[in-house]
Amino acid sequence: MNSIKDTEVKEEIKEELSTETKESSSTTIRLLLVEDSPQHQQLIQDALMRSTLMKMNITTAGSGEEGLELLEKNQYDVILLNYSLPHMNGLEFLWNMRKRELNIPTIMITGHGNEQVAVQAMKMGISDYVNKDGDYLNKLDMIIQRALERHELKRQQEELRQRTAYINVRLQQEKRKLENIISAIGAGLIIVDRNYRITWSNRTMEEWFKTDSDIKGMPCYVLFKRGSSNCDKCMMRATFETGVIQRVRHSLINHDGERKHYQLTTTPLMDVNGDIVQVLCLVQDITQQVSMQLKVIQTGKLAAIGELASGLAHQLNNPLVGVLNYVQLLQRRISKDDPNRELLDTVERGALQCRDIVKNLLNFSRPHHFNFELLDLQVVIDNTLVLIENTLKVENIKIIRDPSQPLPPIEGNMTQIQQVFLNLMMNSRHAMPGGGEIRISADTVHDPDDHQDYVVVKFADSGHGIPKSIIDKIFDPFFTTKDKEYGTGLGLSIAHGIIKAHNGKIKVESEEGKGATFMIYFPIAHSKDGF
């Protein structure tokens, strides 16, 4: 990055200027003498040629007009100007010089009693004036030298002013560039002083941590912990005391009610003596990273549970088959009127129930082992409703089926998809403890994002809805808002897994207090034979 050190540049300029002055002092001074009296011309020339202070090259002009003409053609270092000239007096000459933007040090020679003229001439920018008294010729070279030095000093000052103005503009540009970079880095930045007060923050920080009062001036522990004093393991204090960079993770609920995770990194900022006077804190939003990590952990847990379930199911399967076989053998041996027959039938029902549970466990743990067939989703919905309709009716939940055109087939596993629909309807049921309705519709859609045609099935309930703060988490394994006896938090994550195995997708729309709608998309099967 281009950065200009102000003091360094000023030093450089000073050096440059002083060399220029040294050079000019050793060269011949080009002087223009505007004087109408030849006698005075001669006297002045003689006096200046005798000077030991400087070497001079003198050109004379007998009138103001001639002087201006010479100025147009030649370069002069200094002008010696008599005030009393015919046609054009000294002031008019000065005015003409100004009009032509000629900036040459000029010394005016005035007669006795002309001080007022001299004051006016000074206002017009002459370097000095001299009265034609007895001794003036001997002082002339010194006056010229002084005028030259003053003029040079003025020139240097002006140059310095211009360069400083230029440097200031560049500094402002650099500052703006830096500010833009700082606000575009996608991370928060704050600077904290020794009293833990925030002395500066970037725009990102102000957007992330919206507060009623200004962040600047606020103690860092109020901003991050809403505390009233320093945190127990204060990373700012550690950085002030040790000068070592500190890194911690911190989570908080933001102004929208969402939990956010941040990584804070503190770096010491030192003054010219090497003392730590402030601490810079970099604030990175790692919420997505943390939730990904959690997902990975939870998916791992789910996989482990799946393994366990499938192992258990396999081990239970063999003895169960034995129990069923023997029960059925006994049923054949015992007559229908035998009082023990009813007991045996109950055992058989129990064993059959266990066999279904084992089968389901195996299905859950290995969804990809299922056979896929062409399915009409209306039929799958019908079959699912047969299983759950009664339960819903008892709880005052009405099912409304929106009419639809015949649907194209999809490729899938009936039991698995039923499982998904059941999970969704069970969730709706729990969201409507006082009753309500579930509206079911099915249609075809084209998704322009992946250019696929889908059959979409919608389940819209009139329940309590899903708060914005948790809607991103409901598909996470084990995420539940229900008591332990009602929910394990696996329903939607299993549904999600099954839909993924069908190359489909699931979406949710909900507003707290206004129900929830789940949409499940299944790719339309491209079968040559159809049904």
378 binds, among Mg ion, ligand ATP, none (CB under 5 to 8 A by kind): none
Residue 529: CB atoms within 10 A of its CB come to 6
Contact 276, 240 (CB under 8 A): yes
d(CA 108, CA 120): 11
> Nearest-CB residue to Mg ion?
491
Site string for ligand ATP, 460-499 (x = CB under 6 A): -x-xxxx-------x----xxxx----xxxxxxx------
Alpha-carbon distance values, 30 to 182, 320, 395, 459 (Å): 56, 123, 112, 100
- Confirm or reject binding of residue 299 to ligand ATP (CB under 6 A): no
d(CA 355, CA 369): 18
| Beta strand 410-412 pairing with 373-375 | antiparallel
Q: Which is nearer to ligand ATP, 91 or 506 (CB)?
A: 506
Q: Show the CA angle centred on residue 301, arms to residues 299 and 307, nearest 5°.
A: 105
Rounded to a whole number of angstroms, the minimum distance from the CB of residue 517 to ligand ATP is 8
Query: Among residue numbers 180 through 209, which ones bind Mg ion (CB under 5 A)?
Result: none
d(CA 146, CA 127): 9
Give the torsion sign (CA, 406, 408, 412, 417).
Answer: negative
Considering only residues 105, 436, 465, 491, which one is a binding residue for Mg ion as defined by CB under 5 A?
Answer: 491
Which uninterrupted H or E stretch holds 246? strand 246-253
Query: Among residue numbers 425 through 464, which ones bind Mg ion (CB under 5 A)?
Result: 427
Q: Which is nearer to Mg ion, 491 or 515 (CB)?
A: 491
Number of residues that bind ligand ATP (CB under 6 A): 22
Q: Which is nearer to ligand ATP, 407 or 492 (CB)?
A: 492
Query: Among residue numbers 401 through 430, which ones bind Mg ion (CB under 5 A)?
Result: 427
Q: Which residue has the tokens 């011949």?
A: 28
DSSP state of 80: E
Rounded to a whole number of angstroms, the minimum distance from the CB of residue 357 to Mg ion is 18
Residue 135: CB atoms within 10 A of its CB come to 8
Rounded to a whole number of angstroms, the minimum distance from the CB of residue 361 to ligand ATP is 15
Site string for ligand ATP, 425-464 (x = CB under 6 A): --xx--x-----------------------------x-xx
225 binds, among ligand ATP, Mg ion, none (CB under 5 to 8 A by kind): none
Site string for Mg ion, 286-305 (x = CB under 5 A): --------------------
408 binds, among ligand ATP, Mg ion, none (CB under 5 to 8 A by kind): none
Which uninterrupted H or E stretch holds 178? helix 136-184
Rounded to a whole number of angstroms, the minimum distance from the CB of residue 463 to Mg ion is 12
Radius of gyration of the chain (CA): 48
Residues of this chain that interact with Mg ion (CB under 5 A) are 427, 491
Residues of this chain that interact with ligand ATP (CB under 6 A) are 423, 427-428, 431, 461, 463-466, 474, 479-482, 487-493, 516
